[in-house]
Amino acid sequence: MAYLDTRRRPNAASMAAVIAVHGAIGAALVLGLTVTGVIAPEPERLVVLPEQKAPPPPPPPDPAPSAASRRNPYVPPLPLPLPTRGPELDVTDVLPTPAPPRPLPGPSLTPAPSPSVTPSFAPEAARPRTNPAGWVTTDDYRSNWIRQEMTGKARFRLDIAADGRVTNCTITASSGHPQLDAATCALVSKRAKFQPARGSNGEPVAGTYSNAIDWQLPE
């Protein structure tokens, strides 16, 4: 009778796998030890931290109120002394005297125009009683004036008295020749006759009269 061997024989493939695993582990260990011996350790770095200031101390706690202040927190102020009355001052010479009140403007009254006084007689100027053309003629030319060919217009003003007489003669514009100017006043004062001027009441008054003599050479 044959007996079966109860012991199993080791499998060759399993043993090969185990040997391979052990070999890999050993290689890894050898490689790890080699790297560890070659890499130098990293130098330590010095880190400087900023200086920190110490925080300020907390404020002291408020003192506990006393018992007296808790009983009466309000203290009334002391009364001030009243000022004594000083001497009275006389201000009559200091204060200005008030101005009297101004009267209110009232309605303006326009005075009525005074009635115009109508003169009883219209004033009149002095008037010649003779023809002024006859006061000076060509016959009054002197021969030497004719030879010198003196010509020109002499303007004059006469002062007439209240009785109609010529009292003065003034040359207001010369003829250019003193001889003709002098002859004009002399001849007119001698030959002119006037009606005197009259005022507003009709009475004769003094007046004036103005005219001119044109001296022309006789033909």
Question: What is the per-residue pLDDT for 136?
Answer: 93
Q: What angle do CA 194, 197, 200 make, to 5 degrees?
A: 160
Domains of the chain: 127-215 (3.30.1150)
Choose among 99, 185, 92: nearest CA to 136.
Answer: 185
Average pLDDT across each block of 10 residues of the chain; the chain has 219 residues. List them in order. Answer: 44 65 63 48 58 69 57 56 57 58 58 57 87 92 92 95 94 95 95 92 92 91
* Region of residue 43 (phi > 0: left; psi between -120 and 50: alpha; otherwise: beta): beta
Question: What is the per-residue pLDDT for 185?
Answer: 96
Question: What is the per-residue pLDDT for 123?
Answer: 86
Buried b (16+ CB within 10 A) or exposed e, 72-108: eeeeeeeeeeeeeeeeeeeeeeeeeeeeeeeeeeeee
CA count, 13 A, side-chain hemisphere, 79? 3
Choose among 144, 128, 119: nearest CA to 202.
Answer: 119
Question: What is the per-residue pLDDT for 200?
Answer: 85
**CA 77 vs CA 72, 73, 74, 200, 205: distances in Å:** 14, 13, 10, 101, 106
Question: What is the per-residue pLDDT for 52?
Answer: 60
Q: Quote the pTM value.
A: 0.45
Question: What is the per-residue pLDDT for 122?
Answer: 80
**Residue found by looking up tokens 């003192």 in the block:** 63
